[in-house]
Structure 1
Amino acid sequence: MTKATVRGRAGAGTSARQRTVAAAARAAAKRAEKARESSLDEEAAENAAADSAVAENAATESAVADEASASGTGADAEAREQAKGAVRDEAGAEKSAKPARRISGAATAVLAALVVAGLVAVAMLGWEYRDDQRTQEARTEALAVARKAAPEILSYDYRHLDRDFAKARAHLTGSFAGEYRTTTTKVVAPTAEKYHGVVTATVAKPPAGGAPAASVVSAAPEKVIVLLFMNQVTNSTQVSGPRLDLNRVRMTLVDTSGGWKVSALDAL
C-alpha cells in the first residue's frame, strides 16, 4: 500500500510537471507562429522557434527523467541518460544552425549590394559615354551652323531688305527672333533705305589661309556657345568708300526640333 501511495504521488507530481512543461512548449510554439505570421523580424521568429524546440526538448527530457525515476531500475537510469544526451545533442544542433543561417543571410546581402553597386557603376559609365558623344556631335554641328548663319544675320542690302531679313530669321529662335525683327524693322531698314546701305559680313580667315576664325567656347548636348571673328564691309552714301569693321561676335545656339538655331548674338 505504501509503495502504491508513493508511486501515486510520484505519478501525480510527474504529470503536473509534464503539463507545466507542455504548456510552456505550447506557449513558445504560439510565439514562434505569431512571429512568423507577422514577419516583423525574421531573427525573432528564428529565436522563438528555437525556444519552442528547446521547450519541447525539455518536456521530453523531463518525461524521460520522471519515467526513469518512477521505475527506479538501473536499465531505466541508463536509458534516461541516453535520452538526455539525445535531447542535448538536438538542442545544440538547433542552436548551432542559427549562426549558420545568419552568416548565410549576411553573405547574400553583401553579394546583392555588390551586384547593385556594379550595375550602377556600369550605368553611370554608359551615361557619361553617351553624354560625351552627344556633346562632341553638338560641337561639330553647331559650329558649322554658326559659320553659315553669322554672315547672313549680319549682312543686308537696301535693295532687297525683306529677302535678307527673312533669310536671317530662318536661323533664329526664341525671344531673339522677336528682337531681331523689331530692330531690323524700326532701326536698320529705315537707315539702310535712306543712305543706301549695303553691309557684307564674312567670317575672318587667317592671312595665310585656313579654317574660318570661329571656335567653340562651351558645349553641351543641347547648347553651344561659339566665338567668331567677323569682317564687315559697309557701303553707303554716308561714307566716301567701303569701310571695314573687324568685330568679335559671341553666338549662342540651341538644339531645336528644326535643328540648331541662334538664340542670342552679342558683339564683344
Structure 2
Amino acid sequence: MANTITRGRGTGSGSPGRRSLTAAARAAAKRAEGNRSGARDALDGVPEDLVNDRTGLPPIEKTVGNVLLTKEESDPGPDPENPDNESQAPQTPDAEVPDPEAPPRGRLRARLSAALALLTVAGLVAVAVLGWQYQDGRQVEEARAQALAAAQQAAPVVLSYDYRHLDRDFAAARGRLTGSFRAEYGRTTKAVVAPTAKKYKGVVKASVVAPPDGGAPAASVASASADSAVVLLFVNQVTKSTQVSGSRMDLNRVRMTLTRTADGWKVSAVDAL
C-alpha cells in the first residue's frame, strides 16, 4: 500500500497545488503577451533609435528631450508670475502702437501749415510796423530840424516893421504865415499897427538871441510831429519912436507854432510868454 500511494502521487495527473501553479504561470504568460502587444501598439510611430533594445520603451532622457520639451517650447502654457495671461505672444520692441486719441497726420500737417502761415503773417506785420515806426521817426526828426530853422528865419520878419515902408514889411511877414493867423495878422497890422507906426514914426527891429561867441540861437523845439511843431524862442525887440527918448529894448519869450504846407513850413500862431 505504501508503494501504491507513492506511485500514485508521482505519476498521476498532479496534485491540486501543482495544478494551481501551472494555471498561474499560464495566466502570467498571457498577461505578459498582452502587455508586449500593448507596448508595441503604443510605440507605433516612435523612431527605432529611440526604443530601448531590452525594454522596448523609449529612453527617458530622449523622450524628455525630443518630445516633452518640444511640446513645452511650442506651447509654454500660462505664465506662473502672470496667471491672468493664458498665453503671451513675443513683443516686438520697435513696434509702434497707434494712439487712438492722436490726430491724423493730415490734420496735423494742416495745423502746422496754419501755424507757420500765422507766424509768417505776424512776422510781416511786425516788420511793417517797425518799418513804419522807423520811417515816422525819421520824418519827425526832419520836421524838428526844418521847423526850428523856419522859426528862426520867420521871427525877425514877422515881429519887425518900419513906418517908412510898412506895406513892404507887412507883405514880407504875411509870406511867412498860414491859415487863420495870416488873416488875423493882416487885419491887426492894417487897423492898429500901421496907423500908430505912422503917427509916432515907429521902428521895431526883432532878432533871435544868440550868444556873443557866435553859438546857436536861443531857440528849441518843444514838440514836433511830421506836419507840425512848436518852437520856443528868445527874441529881443529894439523900438524907436517919437514917444521914446533914444531906443528901448524888450526881451521877449515867444512861442511859435509852425505847420507844414505845400510851400514849406509856415507860422500858424505866435504867443508872447
> Are 1:227 and 2:232 counterparts?
yes
* SS in structure 1 of the partner of residue 246 of structure 2: coil
Read off the aligned partner of 2:244 and give its amino acid letter.
V
**Does 2:104 align with 1:99?**
yes
- Aligned residue for 1:73? none
Question: How big is the shift at 1:256?
Answer: 0.4
Change (3 A) 1:230 1:97: closer
Q: Show structure 2 runs of 5+ residues with no match.
A: 1-97
1:250 alignment counterpart: 255
State the alpha-carbon separation in 2 of the partners of residues 98 and 161 from structure 1: 87
* CA distance in 2 between partners of 1:219 and 1:97 (Å): 58
* Aligned match of 1:204: 209
| SS in structure 1 of the partner of residue 141 of structure 2 | helix
Asked whether 1:174 is paired with 2:183, we answer no
The alpha-carbon deviation at position 207 of structure 1 amounts to 3.8
Residue 165 in 1 paired to residue 170 in 2?
A: yes
For the residue of structure 1 that corresponds to 2:255, the secondary structure is strand
Q: Distance in 2 between matches of 1:214 and 1:96?
A: 72
Give 1:208 deviation, angstroms. Answer: 4.0
Runs of 4+ in 1 over 4 A off after TM superposition: 95-98
SS of alignment partner, residue 221 of structure 1: coil
* Partner in structure 2 of residue 267 of structure 1: 272
C-alpha separation between the residues in 2 aligned to 1:97 and 1:220? 55
Identity %: 65
Which amino acid letter does the alignment assign opposite residue 258 of structure 1? D
AA paired with 2:153? K
**Would you tell me which structure has more helix in proportion to its own residues?**
1
- Which has the larger Rg? 2
1:190 aligns with 2:195: yes
What's the CA shift for 1:205?
Answer: 1.2
**Structure 1: unaligned runs, 5 residues or longer:** 1-92
Give the C-alpha shift of residue 142 in structure 1: 1.1
Match of 1:129 in 2: 134
State the partner residue of 2:161.
156
TM-score, normalised with respect to structure 1: 0.63
* Letter aligned with residue 218 of structure 2: A
1:109 aligns with 2:114: yes
**Number of aligned pairs?**
176
Q: Pick from 117, 120, 124: which aligns with 2:125?
A: 120
CA distance in 1, matches of 2:132, 2:246: 57
C-alpha RMSD of matched pairs (Å): 1.8
Local SS of the residue matching 2:127: helix
